[in-house]
Amino acid sequence: MWFVMLFLGLAVFAALASLVVACERLGGIPP
Amino acid sequence: MMWTLPILVILGCALLSIPLGWYMAWAMNSDAPGVPGRLDSFVARLGGGRCGDSPRWHRYAMSMLVFNAVMFSVVFVIFTTQTWLPLNPDGKKNMSADLAYNTAASFTSNTNLQHYSGEQQLSCFSQLFAIMWLQFVSAATGIAALAALCRGLSGKPAIGNFYRDLARATVLVLLPLAAIVALGLVLCGTPMTLQGSAVATTLEGLTQTISRGPVAAVVAIKQIGTNGGGYFGPNSTHPFENPNFVSNIIQNASIILIPMAAVWMFGRIVGSWKQAAVVFAVMGVLYAGLVGTAVVTEQAPTAALAGLPVQEAMNLEGKELRFGSSAGPLWAVSTTATSNGSVNAMHDSLNPLTGMMPMIGMWLNVAFGGVGVGFINMFLYIITAVFIAGMMVGRTPEYLGKKIEAREMKFALLALLAHPLFILGGVAIFAATPWGQSTTQDPGPHGLSEIVYEFSSAAANNGSGFEGLGDNTPPWNIATGTVMLLARFIPIILPLAIAGSLASKKRLAESAGTFRTDGVFFGVILTGVVLIIGALLFLPLGVLGPVAEHLAVIRGSGVP
């Protein structure tokens, strides 16, 4: 249970990082 | 008399917020050498010289996520190993994994939703180095994100460096303010000690254990950083956390001061006081409206005492009378409109319609909102309002000279719709399954309100509880923990993406076709957009919960 909870938290942060990458590819980057 | 305290607190904070906002802009955005420069050099040395400004928003966002993921992991380990760590004079046991997950997510996300009781389940080490540390850096994360957004909007070539902004927000903004507030609380009688519980012998000869600890330090940053997590389970209703009328005013003012100042900080950085004044006025109208309604609706006596041989002028159930009669509803709105979450009265005991005001505060999440993120949330509504108004009157949708196009609108609407999705989705699942049904204290509309409040609190990163709900169960801990993390960072990442997108565009010169966003007309439109998008999405929940309960009281069928 200990590892499951820790990895769940890290998985949420990984999902948020994916959102950043997706937004960047959609073009939210200054030239 | 009932209006004296609300007027004193709101007007006093509005006036104080102007110089504080000016100071925050200097602290976060000054390029001049001096204290900020020396702090930057220190951070750069810590980072091995890799702490320069980044022009790319996604690097800033990634730094923020990496920092917060590390903080989450470290405090999770602290909570689950505190028995073996130092500063545990009362021999507190380790937290269970699901409760530690919820608590780590709660404090990393600046929510401070507490499914535990601090004085029973946390050691001094956990209170100081996990809870209080996160109360500083999670609030600093919000201020840093706002500073980055403002730079993106102001046309600066670089959006900044997250670690540098984090250090500036912590050391130059939060630490000095927390020290001042903590000193005031100690003078009011709040304990500040590293000794364990005191053991006293009562008049009957029994032994009583009285919890104490570094309470003033924890309570100061709890309020200043819109954190809300108390040292004691009963939060600011506890006489050690909030001893008297003066400490109550200090704490209530501390809750809304930085969220108000953040608006002026935005105005200073983007160089337009008029833009800031419009946003401040809209937030102020929403906030004052909620406070006014809550104070008025709380004047009716509670239905819980109906038929009993007692005389009540107003609802005094669940109130701390040492703070005054209007202190409960004022605090209830302040703490929920600003994503603070601390309480000085039992929200479960509020009259049904009064209890809806805190919920509306959390649903809107922009009546000043959390530290830094309150303005960021309002920025999403601003983008939407500019686009809608521009389309309606045939003007070019622009904000601060930058054209708002489909890409920015997609990001804004994604962020705005995430909030109701977390609340409505969570409520639907828990109201329909034993995960939620078996944990409510009351059946019927009030039981639904308990579930709605819990998910609203988690999604708004608020942390207050309706109480009565048995929320320390694995389903509640995991569901609200996950919602808190997602609801914290999605509405930061997407506005940063918008700022990055706008920063890449050329600033357009103002023309006859420009739709002005610094006047009363835009303020009215912005208020309408907030109410239509923010409030109407939650109308069914309001009707099925608090409104149904209110009508049952009027009809005489009573409260379950």
Which ipTM value was assigned to this complex?
0.91
pLDDT beyond 70 at B559: no
Q: Does any CB of chain A come closer than 8 Å to the CB of residue B97?
A: yes
Residue with tokens 């930058």: B402
Asked if B497 lies within 8 A of A24 by C-beta distance, the reply is yes
- Average confidence (pLDDT) over B105-125: 88
DSSP B271-317: T-HHHHHHHHHHHHHHHHHHHHHHHHHTTSPPGGGTTSS---SS--T
Q: Tell me how far apart the alpha carbons of residues B454 and B290 are, in angstroms, rounded to a whole number.
A: 19
Pair B374, B256: CB distance under 8 Å: no
Lowest mean pLDDT among B59-68, B273-282, B543-552: B543-552
Q: Please list the alpha-helical segments (H only) found in chain A.
A: 2-26
pLDDT beyond 50 at B560: no
pLDDT score recorded for residue B178: 95
Rounded to two decimals, the pTM is 0.92
Angle subtended at Cα B351 by Cα B348 and Cα B354, rounded to the nearest 5 degrees: 95
Asked if A1 lies within 8 A of B72 by C-beta distance, the reply is no
For chain B positions 396-415, those within 8 Å of chain A (CB to CB) are 407, 410-411
Lowest mean pLDDT among B129-138, B319-328, B455-464: B319-328
pLDDT in tens, B157-193: 788 889 999 999 999 999 999 999 999 999 999 999 8
pLDDT band at B49 (very low <50, low <70, confident <90, very high): low
Q: Does any CB of chain A come closer than 8 Å to the CB of residue B136?
A: no
Would you state the structure tokens that stand for residue B95, as one six-digit string?
């937290």
Sign of CA dihedral B358, B363, B364, B366: positive
Asked if B101 lies within 8 A of A6 by C-beta distance, the reply is yes
- Sorted by sequence, the CB contacts under 8 Å of residue B540 that are 6+ apart come out as none
pLDDT score recorded for residue B51: 65
Residue A20 vs residue B38, higher pLDDT: A20
Q: Tell me how far apart the alpha carbons of residues B267 and B276 are, in angstroms, rounded to a whole number.
A: 5
pLDDT in tens, B494-527: 999 998 888 888 888 877 777 888 889 999 999 9
Torsion of CA B215, B348, B320, B138, to 10 degrees: 30
Question: From the CA of A28, how many Å to the nearest CA of chain B?
Answer: 4
Q: Does any CB of chain A come closer than 8 Å to the CB of residue B60?
A: no
pLDDT beyond 90 at B449: no
pLDDT in tens, B279-314: 999 999 999 999 999 999 998 888 777 778 877 678
pLDDT score recorded for residue B472: 87
pLDDT score recorded for residue B71: 96
Would you state the structure tokens that stand for residue B353, as one six-digit string?
């319609």
What are the CA-CA distances from residue B256 to residues B154, B190, B284, B369 (Å)? Answer: 25, 21, 11, 8
Asked if B497 lies within 8 A of A21 by C-beta distance, the reply is no
Q: Which helix H or strand E contains B199, and what residues bound it?
A: strand B198-201
Q: Which helix H or strand E contains B121, and what residues bound it?
A: helix B118-121
